[in-house]
Amino acid sequence: MPLSRWSSRHKKTFGKKKEKWDGNFRLPPKPDSYYTETKGSCRWCGDVILKEDGTINMRKSWHEDCATEYLLIYHSGEQRAQLWNRDKGKCNHCGCENRTWHADHIKPLVEQKHVKEEDLDWSYYSLDNLQTLCKSCHRKKTNSEVKLKGKKKPVYKKWSK
Ligand SMILES: [Zn+2]
Ligand SMILES: [Zn+2]
């Protein structure tokens, strides 16, 4: 999604009061800077946004990279688009190319369940922790995660390349 289009869509959340995180580990809490109504500073990382000449860009409220990161976490459509850009639908496990590919978190997000807000591991939400899997590999992985639940060894080790 072009940043400009999406950014204007997000104007209505500007300066909204910070909500208490509901504990949904699939949608981690947004940073305080997300709720501040200040142009020229980034709503994701909180740093200033500079123009090429080094002065503060008062028209912007997102760094390009930060917006990409944000969208990856909170917009599933954008998450698929980014993953498609990288993998082109090729299964990371068996290598097959299938139109009905799935987006999978290598380290399962569920491991962040019941983790306190300040202890969240953000690497779980990065593009590096996402892989393309075909339907059958995805099912196998999900099944093995269920079976191995409760064991100490992390499941994803088996699945990394
Ligand atoms: Zn930023
Ligand atoms: Zn596969």
pLDDT at residue 113 in the model: 92
Regions of the chain short of the pLDDT cut 50: 160-161
Predicted TM-score (pTM) of the model is 0.80
| For the CA of 94, the nearest ligand | 2
Ligand 1 centroid to Cα of residue 123, in Å, is: 17
- Other C-beta atoms closer than 10 Å to the C-beta of 148 total 13
pLDDT of residue 38: 84
Distance 135 CA to ligand 1 centre (A): 35
CA of 44 to the centre of ligand 1 (A): 5
- Whole-number Å distance between alpha carbons of 125 and 106: 10
Q: Give 160 Cα–ligand 2 centroid separation in angstroms.
A: 13
Position 154 scores a pLDDT of 53
pLDDT of residue 160: 46
Q: How far is the CA of 34 from the centre of ligand 1 (A)?
A: 10
